[in-house]
Amino acid sequence: MQKEELILILDFCGQYNQLIARRVRECNVYCEIVRHDISAEEIKSRGAKGVIFTGGPASVYGDNAPKCDPEIFNLGIPVLGICYGMQLMTHTLGGKVERADKREYGEIEVNFSKSVLFDGFTDKNVCLMSHTDYVETLPQGFEKIADTASCPYAAIENKERRFYGIQFHAEVNNTVNGTKIIDNFVKKICGCSGSWEMSSFVKETVKALKEKIGDGKALCALSGGVDSSVAAALLNAAIGENLTCIFVDHGLMRKNEGDEVEEVFGKRFKSKFIRVNAEERFLSRLAGVEDPETKRKIIGEEFINVFEEEAKKIGKVDFLVQGTIYPDVVESGKGIGASIKSHHNVGGLPDHVDFKEIVEPLRDLFKDEVRKVGRELGIPDYLVDRPPFPGPGLAIRVIGDITKEKLDILREADYIFREELERDGINKISNQYFAALTNVKSVGVMGDYRTYDYMIALRAVTTMDFMTATFTRIPYETLERVSSRIVNEVKNVNRVVYDITGKPPATIEYE
C-alpha cells in the first residue's frame, strides 16, 4: 500500500460497511475500516487522502448515537457521508436532522443535479434507500445535489470544503452505477490515482506478517479449503520454515480430499507440513450430537486441542494462523451484528487458547478477494477455484447426528454431484455447490422391492460475496443425471431433491 493512496472508512455499525471497502478496492484504491471514534490526529498522521462515514442504525440526535471527532472536518481532506454518515456530518456542522414523515426503503428513483460526485450520470437514477431520519436543514455552505419525491436532500455537497453526503447506499448492487459514485469520490475528489492492486495487498500483508512474527514460529490451521490454503501461502511467503501447517484429518473431509491436501501442501511449500489423523477422536466426541451449534463448538474446541498438542511437540509456538474471512465474522455475530451461526474458527473457539496470538490475515476480505490473493501467490487454479469447504466439514452437511456410515454415504453423493457439475461447466457459474445428507428417510421402490432410505439434498448457489446468494439455475438434464447416478451408485439413498432457497432467508450451508 502506498500511504498517499489511503482512504479510511469510519465504521458506524451499518450493515453494508464492508461492501464500501470492497467498492473502494474495486476502484484500485487501498482502504481500511477503522473505529468511528478514531482521532483526527491519527487520521492526519496516517496520511489519509479521504474519509468515508458509513451508514448505521442510530439516530444522530439520540443520546447514545456514535459520533466522530469533529476535528476531522478541519483536516482539509474530503469527507463522504453515506446515509447515517451524511446525517452525522449535517448534525455536526450545524444542520438539522429529524424523523421523516415518510420513510424510504427499497429502490427509489433519485433526481440528480450537476456535481463531480455524479460525473457520468443521467438526471435520474435508481438507488437503494434505507432510512427513517432525514436532513431537514442544511449546514452553512452546503447545497442540494439530489432529491426524491419524499426526500428533499437525497445528496448534498460543500464543494469548497469537499464534503459530500448521500442519503442512499451507493455501495450496494441495487444502486445503479453506485460504484461510479465511489470512484468519482476517491479519484476525482480525493485525487487517488487508482494504482493499487491485489499484489499490493499481498506485498503489504507479507511484510506485516514478517514484522509481527519475526523469528517466532507459527502454526497454520490448514483445512485444505480456499481460505486456509491462501492464509498458509501468505505465511509461507512471510516466514517460510518457521511455519508449520497442521492439517487435521478429522474424518469429515470430502472424498479423496485428505490425500489431495497432503499432495499439494506437503510438497509445494517451504513450510513444514503435518497431517494428523484424528477421525476416531472427532467422531467419538460428536457421537449422538444433533444440535448444529454444539457440533461447531465441539469441532472448534477439538481443533484447538489438537493444535496445542502438536505445538508442544514442535516446541515454543507463539502464533496460530487461521483462514477466517469477513462473512465468517459477520455470521458469528462479532461486534454489533446478531449471531447467525458460529464458525468453528470464530465463534467456536474456547475462551483460552495456548498461543500468544491468533493471526487472521484474510479477516477483512470477501471470498472473491481471497481467490485473487491466491492467484497472486501462485496457488493452482484448481485449488483456488474449488467450492468453499467449511472448517467443520461434512459435519454440518450431515443433518442431525453423525456416524461414519452417514459420512461415507454423503462423500459418494457429493463426489457425483460435483463431478457432473464440473463436467457440464456449471462450476463456472456456481460459486458453491455440494450435497447434504438430510435427516429424513422416505419410502421408495427399487426393482420390485420397497426401500426406506435417506434423502440427499443438492445445493448450488451463485453469489458475489457470500453475504447474499441465489440458487444456480442448473439444467434439468444435469439434475436428472445426478439424481440417477446417486440413487444407483450410492447405497442407502432412494431420493434426491434440489434446494432452490436463496440467502436470505436461508444460509448457504445447512447447519
Q: Is 295 helix (H, G, I), strand (E, B) or coil?
A: helix
Provide the residue count of the chain. 511
Place of cell 448521500: 166
Contact partners, residue 171, CB within 8 Å, separation at least 6 = 16, 19, 20, 22, 23, 82, 178, 179, 182
Name the DSSP letter for residue 387: P
Q: How far, in Å, are 35, 57, 85, 284 from residue 54 at the CA level?
A: 11, 10, 5, 47
Q: Which residues of 51-81 are buried (b: 16+ CB within 10 A; e: fewer)?
A: bbbbbbebbbeeeebbebbeebbeeebbbbb
Sign of the CA dihedral 286, 289, 295, 297?
negative
Structure-block grid coordinates of residue 56: 448505521
State the CB neighbour count (10 A cutoff) for residue 352. 7
* Residue positions annotated with a catalytic role: 83, 169, 171
Q: Which segments within 69-180 are labelled E, that is strand?
A: 79-82, 96-112, 124-137, 143-147, 155-158, 163-166
Cα separation of 112 and 147, whole Å?
A: 7
